[in-house]
Chains A and B, each alone.
Chain A
Amino acid sequence: GAGVSQSPRYKVAKRGQDVALRCDPISGHVSLFWYQQALGQGPEFLTYFQNEAQLDKSGLPSDRFFAERPEGSVSTLKIQRTQQEDSAVYLCASIRQGNTEAFFGQGTRLTVV
């Protein structure tokens, strides 16, 4: 596609519910990143994939957070047993191999009530 696509754009979850957020990177982009952006803050790194390999998950805030990219293209960020502090915008970005410029999706705004 023309850009990074994320779905859903908005998600309201009841506390304790599981959610799955999807990211479609730009076709052919090898690197994929997930970020969490709390209200009024800059994006914080969550995890990084190169193709299907998850090379860094040091930013995931707890073991309730899980990400996968099984075929090296689409990625899913899953949050189990959501808590109110998980409310944030989740951003996905992809980078073409050999490049440094990251292209971001519009994000998914998660609200846990």
Chain B
Amino acid sequence: AQSVAQPEDQVNVAEGNPLTVKCTYSVSGNPYLFWYVQYPNRGLQFLLKYITGDNLVKGSYGFEAEFNKSQTSFHLKKPSALVSDSALYFCAVRGSQGNLIFGKGTKLSVKP
């Protein structure tokens, strides 16, 4: 069965520092991987995706993610965090019907 794991419930970062939100996946075949962000009382917003090609994927709001097949990971990164990046981040893998299978989420807190 396909699944993703987000090992950290919360990540705390100081503004201006680099951030990493971790995600590992388990799939049969080639994975389609996604990152979404959720602000309070808002729906999920697409950040970026990996389908094929370059292992480093660039997305919205300065975020990027690195696909690592040998480590089955797809960590989300940003070189310099902003206070406004504070939100809930979800990693997801595409299921057989095109549905998304989500991790439990990681709360990112960026302090000034």
Interface string of B35-67 (1 = CB under 8 A from A): 010000111111001010000000000000000
**Complex Cα spacing A59 to B100, Å:** 12
Given A41-B105, A42-B90, are A104 and B45 also a contact pair (CB < 8 Å)?
A: yes
Contact A45 B94 (CB under 8 A): no
**Complex Cα spacing A42 to B102, Å:** 6
Contact B49 A33 (CB under 8 A): no
**Which residues of A sit under 8 angstroms from B103, Cβ to Cβ?**
42
Task: Report the minimal beta-carbon distance from A70 to chain B, rounded to whole angstroms.
Answer: 20
A side interface size, CB within 8 A: 25
**A58: nearest chain-B partner, CB-CB:** B97
B side interface size, CB within 8 A: 24
Within 8 A of B (CB), among A1-54: 4, 31, 33, 35, 40-45, 48
Contact B104 A42 (CB under 8 A): yes
**Which residues of B sit under 8 angstroms from A33, Cβ to Cβ?**
98-100
Contact surface of B with A, Cβ cutoff 8 Å: 32, 34, 36, 41-46, 49, 51, 90, 92, 94-95, 97-105
